[in-house]
């Protein structure tokens, strides 16, 4: 199949496939006499593997490691794979905490305009303008809930 067909069947665009090839996640396909890439079913399966890992917010480096294990399975314990997933879970926990802090900051900022006002009297805009001028900002000065 050509790159357009692989992209369609893989649920991504052709540039994503080219990127994965450049990054070494997808092997380079054979070329037709006219120079077109010719992909096989194995490319589609590997693309699906990569895209599934990406849907889990895994980095390209982690996907590369998982692909190596997948392509060269060994009888060794899968401790390294478990550690890789544990690290990803830890990163997700950090992102959740960061998003919760951001939510609290936005709620604090939103509370600056809790009644109908004109734009000229909007507490949110006044706070943002003040922060842009170097004044303290209530949303960044608010105690975190950690």
pLDDT in tens, 69-85: 999 888 888 999 999 99
Among residues 19, 41, 71, which one ends one of the domains?
71
* Cα separation values, 5 from 9, 21, 42, 84, 91, Å: 6, 16, 14, 32, 35
Q: Supply the range of the domain harboring residue 130.
A: 79-141
- Total domains present in the chain: 2
Q: Residue 1 class from Cβ within 10 Å (0-12 exposed, 13-18 middle, 19+ buried)?
A: middle
Domain edge (last residue) among 71, 89, 118: 71
Average pLDDT over residues 55-75: 94
Q: What is the mean pLDDT of residues 84-96?
A: 97
Mean residue pLDDT of the chain comes to 91
Last residue of a domain, one of 71, 103, 124: 71
| Domain shared by 62 and 92, yes or no | no
Q: Which CATH number covers residue 66? A: 1.10.1660.10
As a residue count, the chain comes to: 146
CB-based contact 54:63 (threshold 8 Å): yes
Kindly state whether residue 146 falls inside one of the protein's structural domains: no
Q: Are residues 56 and 14 in the same domain?
A: yes
Instruction: Quote the pLDDT of residue 94.
Output: 98
Q: pTM here?
A: 0.78
pLDDT at residue number 74? 87
For the chain, how long is the longest CA-to-CA vector?
Answer: 70
């Amino acid at each position: 199949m050509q790159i357009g067909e692989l992209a369609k069947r893989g649920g991504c665009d052709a540039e994503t496939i080219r990127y994965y090839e450049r990054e070494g996640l997808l092997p380079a396909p054979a070329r037709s006499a006219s120079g077109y890439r010719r992909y096989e079913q194995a490319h589609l399966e590997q693309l699906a593997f990569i895209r599934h890992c990406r849907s889990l917010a895994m980095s390209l480096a982690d996907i590369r490691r998982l692909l190596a294990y997948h392509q060269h399975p060994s009888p060794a314990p899968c401790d390294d794979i478990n550690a890789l997933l544990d690290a990803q879970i830890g990163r997700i926990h950090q992102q959740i905490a960061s998003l919760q802090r951001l939510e609290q900051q936005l709620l604090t900022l939103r509370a600056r305009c809790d009644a109908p006002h004109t734009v000229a009297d909007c507490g949110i805009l006044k706070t943002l303008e003040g922060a842009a001028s170097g004044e303290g900002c209530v949303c960044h000065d608010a105690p975190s809930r950690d």
